Structure 1
Amino acid sequence: MARIRRLTAGALAAGGARRLADRLPQRAATDPRPGRWQKVTVAAEPERVLPAGRWPEPLRRLDGAVEVWARPAPGGRGTELAIRPLGGECTLPGFAAHLVGDDPGRYLRHVLRQTKQLLETGEVLRADRSPLERPGPVR
């Protein structure tokens, strides 16, 4: 009897999940511009992130290749900065694009990290090189 109850509860849960999934809007089908948004939350006001609509320095290198928007982050935690490629995604899928270096998403994430660092600290932070990469004798 307990087994029948568990099976019935599982079937009802699966049916409810399916019905809920059918109600959710399908954004990929409705958005005419392909490309995935890459987002970061910057600890700064929107006026400081995009002053007078001007893009921060790392993003200026991408002028004409990306779409940029900024809005207040949820919970008053700064500004949500987002970019996505105008031309859409690359033709190679995920890992294959990564192997040949043709992954625009990876480069966009890198530029967003640099922009966030520049806006929050005033400089792009760089990690120290390992002792094996430094010039001079190895200790």
Structure 2
Amino acid sequence: MKRAVLGAMTVGTVGIGVTRWMGRRRTKARAAREAGRWMVVTVNLHPEEVVPGGRLPEPLAALGDTIEVQVREAPGDRGTELAARPLTRTPSGTEEVLARLAGTDPRQAVRRALRESKCLLETGEILRPDMEPSPPTTPGGRLVDVASRRGAGEGRL
């Protein structure tokens, strides 16, 4: 019983420390710059194939008026740059950490939509990784399972 209480206290203390550290690390100015930051993917198609008739790909169109989208030719005739950024307020500091863990950060939705749009345009379908059917029997296995489920909202473009 003592170990369980001590372990819970340790995890709580570490969590609070990390949250405070993240809050101090990001200043308000940096958070304001990041709120307007463009996220960009390069699609290996001509611009008229990416947005035929001015229609955005379905994953980006589903976000509607919550994002701003730009489509332009990629440098060196390498396809099309598809750029998007959220128009809603993005969290910062402690609020950002909690939003990312909860999956409610608006930047996650924009990243996911860009990644899915690229897949849909280049392959005709949204590709998903195969998940191995192994039960998470250990705490480490549970952490890997949570990270795998949350992986669609994070990561590189």
TM above 0.5, one fold? yes
Residue 125 of structure 2 is aligned with which of 114, 118, 123?
A: 123
Matches within 5 A, 1:62-101: 62-91=63-92, 94-101=96-103
Q: Which runs of 5+ in 1 are unaligned?
A: 1-27, 29-33, 134-139
SS, match of residue 109 in structure 2:
helix
Structure 1 runs of 4+ off > 6 angstroms?
none
**Residues 84-110 of structure 1 deviation map (CA, whole Å, 9 limit, x = unaligned):** 112242355543431232211122111
TM-score, length of structure 2 as denominator length: 0.58
**Identical amino acids, percent of aligned pairs:** 51
For the residues of structure 1 that align with 2:42 and 2:96, how far apart are their CA atoms? 24
1:45: which partner in 2?
46
1:111: which partner in 2?
113
SS, match of residue 84 in structure 1:
strand
2:57: which partner in 1?
56
Quick check: 1:36–1:89 contact (8 Å CA) kept in 2? no
TM-score, length of structure 1 as denominator length: 0.65
For the residues of structure 2 that align with 1:100 and 1:62, how far apart are their CA atoms? 19
Aligned length: 104
Quick check: 2:88–2:106 contact (8 Å CA) kept in 1? no
For the residues of structure 1 that align with 2:87 and 2:109, how far apart are their CA atoms? 14
SS, match of residue 126 in structure 2:
coil
Amino acid at match of 2:113: V
Amino acid at match of 1:48: E
Q: Give RMSD over aligned pairs.
A: 2.5
Call closer, same or farther: CA 1:46–1:71 in 2, change over 3 Å.
same
Amino acid at match of 1:120: E
**Residues 54-104 of structure 1 deviation map (CA, whole Å, 9 limit, x = unaligned):** 111111111111111100001111000001112242355543431232211
Call closer, same or farther: CA 1:100–1:70 in 2, change over 3 Å.
same
